[in-house]
């Protein structure tokens, strides 16, 4: 029998203690209003909370933000029949090889290829058919046969993709490739929306919660940092620990986000492109802290598939990025510079 758990709702990867930070209107002369609105995009309930001095303006900015997110979903979604990526994947399956793509899609595919290279293939955006085969988090999730998994991996790999950035041309050299940007698209969206918000009012502060992808805009209204809690992967109603950040993002990938169980074995949605099975490298949660959400999004998946030793080596070699890794036994490992974010483990 299958035991199914699909956690596609607000703040399931990270618990952000917004209620504890409040609006602090007594400590700020220009940020005494808060507006918080949620919508469903990218199969995730997203929440945008903004602080400023004009509620009507904040509401308008959030509405514009969700309209932009809707536009991005129509570019990046591998499931939405009207999306740019969906049409490209259909054409790849028919044997087409060359595509002129949008600036946004070019940037995200390029980032996926870059992280694939630095992570020794741990992040692979070409395994959409494997993702579909498992169907984790959908109504057709199942445990595939080893033969079906092996077949789904044939002809996949980022070596089958190339980009001509000057002409926004994507070339694909295998009709078995199906591009899936689920590991990085929300990260790009968070970066994009933060820029949009600040272009409309650079004094606005707030939080973007894109389902485990937390982006902070500025600091709290009293000038202090935001407290971002990292979900306990063994009991996602609790907090494992937390970090203090300002104008940064925190992105977590964990084996508790979307999964099913069969015969007492948990099969989660973070698939290892080398084996075709859910990644099993001794980690249950990876949190990445940095200024770029797409970077943190991509690295959280890559590090989960790498395992602790290789993940720490990778993160310690990248300026401006830190990590918190939680092992299967509940222990934790952190990158060299995590101290600047006051990481503390919950009592």
How is residue 161 written in tokens? 């993709």
pLDDT of residue 330: 95
191-200: list long-range contacts, CB under 8 Å, 24+ apart: 191/215, 191/292, 191/293, 191/294, 192/68, 192/72, 193/48, 193/65, 193/68, 193/69, 194/293, 196/64, 196/65, 196/68, 197/50, 197/61, 197/65, 200/61, 200/64
Would residue 136 count as lying in a domain?
yes
Residues 85 and 60 in one domain: no
Q: State CA 66 to chain mean position distance.
A: 17
Residues 213 and 167 in one domain: no
Given 120, 146, 172, which residue is the final one in a domain? Answer: 172
pLDDT of residue 280: 96
Average pLDDT over residues 23-30: 40
Is residue 223 pLDDT above 90, yes or no?
no
Is residue 30 pLDDT above 90, yes or no?
no
pLDDT of residue 31: 63
Average pLDDT over residues 53-59: 97
Q: Identify which has the larger pLDDT, 59 or 25.
A: 59
* Structural domains of the chain, count: 2
Would residue 151 count as lying in a domain?
yes
Residues 68 and 88 in one domain: no
Is residue 28 pLDDT above 80, yes or no?
no
Would residue 177 count as lying in a domain?
no
Would residue 180 count as lying in a domain?
no
144-158: pLDDT as tens digits: 999 999 999 999 999
Is residue 9 pLDDT above 90, yes or no?
no
- Cα-based distances in Å from 205 to 51, 62, 171, 228, 245: 5, 12, 41, 15, 13
**Residue pointed to by tokens 């579909």:** 132
pLDDT of residue 221: 86
Residues 22 and 92 in one domain: no
pLDDT of residue 102: 98
Residues 63 and 95 in one domain: no
Average pLDDT over residues 240-248: 97
Would residue 179 count as lying in a domain?
no
Average pLDDT over residues 238-242: 95
**Reported pTM:** 0.91
Residues 167 and 216 in one domain: no
Q: What is the CATH number of the domain that holds 84?
A: 1.10.3980.10
Would residue 178 count as lying in a domain?
no
Would residue 21 count as lying in a domain?
yes
Tell me the sheet residues that pair with 49: 36, 207
Is residue 120 pLDDT above 80, yes or no?
yes
pLDDT of residue 32: 81
Confidence of residue 167 (pLDDT cuts 50, 70, 90): very high
How is residue 323 written in tokens? 């990590």
In percent, the amount of the chain with pLDDT more than 70 equals 91
Residue 234's CB is within 10 A of a number of other CB atoms, namely 13
In whole numbers, what is the pLDDT of the chain averaged over residues? 91
277-307: pLDDT as tens digits: 999 999 999 999 999 999 999 999 999 999 9
Confidence of residue 20 (pLDDT cuts 50, 70, 90): very low
Q: What is the CATH number of the domain that holds 193?
A: 3.10.520.10
pLDDT of residue 14: 44
Is residue 15 pLDDT above 90, yes or no?
no
- Cα gap 296→90, rounded to integer Å: 29
Residues 67 and 84 in one domain: no
Give the least confident one: 23-32, 112-121, 304-313.
Answer: 23-32
Q: How buried is residue 122: exposed, middle or buried, by Cβ count under 10 Å (0-12/13-18/19+)?
A: buried
Is residue 191 pLDDT above 80, yes or no?
yes
204-222: pLDDT as tens digits: 999 999 988 999 999 998 8
Full residue range of the structural domain in which residue 259 is found? 2-74+185-345
CB 169 within 8 Å of CB 100:
yes
Residues 230 and 297 in one domain: yes
């Amino acid at each position: 029998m299958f035991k199914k758990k699909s956690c596609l709702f607000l703040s399931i990867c990270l618990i952000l203690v917004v209620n504890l930070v409040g609006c602090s209107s007594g400590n700020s002369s220009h940020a005494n209003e808060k507006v918080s609105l949620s919508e469903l995009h990218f199969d995730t309930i997203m929440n945008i909370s903004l602080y400023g001095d004009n509620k009507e303006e904040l509401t308008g900015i959030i509405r514009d933000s969700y309209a932009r997110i809707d536009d991005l979903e129509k570019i990046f979604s591998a499931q939405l029949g009207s999306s740019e990526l969906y049409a490209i994947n259909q054409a790849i399956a028919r044997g087409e090889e060359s595509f002129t793509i949008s600036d946004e899609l070019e940037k995200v595919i390029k980032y996926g290829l870059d992280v694939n290279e630095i992570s020794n293939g741990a992040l692979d955006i070409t395994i959409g058919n494997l993702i579909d085969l498992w169907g984790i988090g959908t109504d057709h999730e199942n445990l595939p046969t080893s033969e079906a998994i092996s077949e789904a991996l044939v002809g996949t790999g980022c070596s089958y993709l190339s980009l001509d950035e000057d002409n926004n041309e994507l070339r694909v050299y295998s009709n078995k490739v199906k591009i899936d940007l689920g590991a990085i698209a929300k990260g790009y969206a968070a970066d994009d929306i933060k820029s949009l918000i600040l272009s409309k009012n650079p004094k606005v502060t707030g939080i973007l919660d894109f389902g485990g992808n937390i982006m902070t805009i500025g600091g709290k209204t009293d000038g202090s940092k935001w407290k971002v809690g990292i979900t306990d992967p063994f009991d996602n109603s609790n907090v494992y620990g937390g970090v203090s950040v300002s104008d940064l993002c925190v992105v977590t990938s964990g084996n508790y986000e979307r999964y099913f169980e069969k015969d007492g074995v948990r099969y989660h949605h973070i698939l290892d492109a080398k084996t075709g099975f859910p990644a099993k490298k001794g980690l249950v949660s990876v949190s990445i802290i940095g200024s770029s959400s797409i970077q943190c999004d991509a690295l959280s998946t890559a590090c989960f598939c790498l395992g602790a030793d290789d993940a720490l080596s990778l993160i310690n070699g990248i300026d401006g990025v830190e990590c918190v890794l939680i092992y299967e036994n509940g222990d934790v490992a952190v990158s060299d510079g995590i101290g600047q974010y006051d990481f503390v483990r919950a009592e």
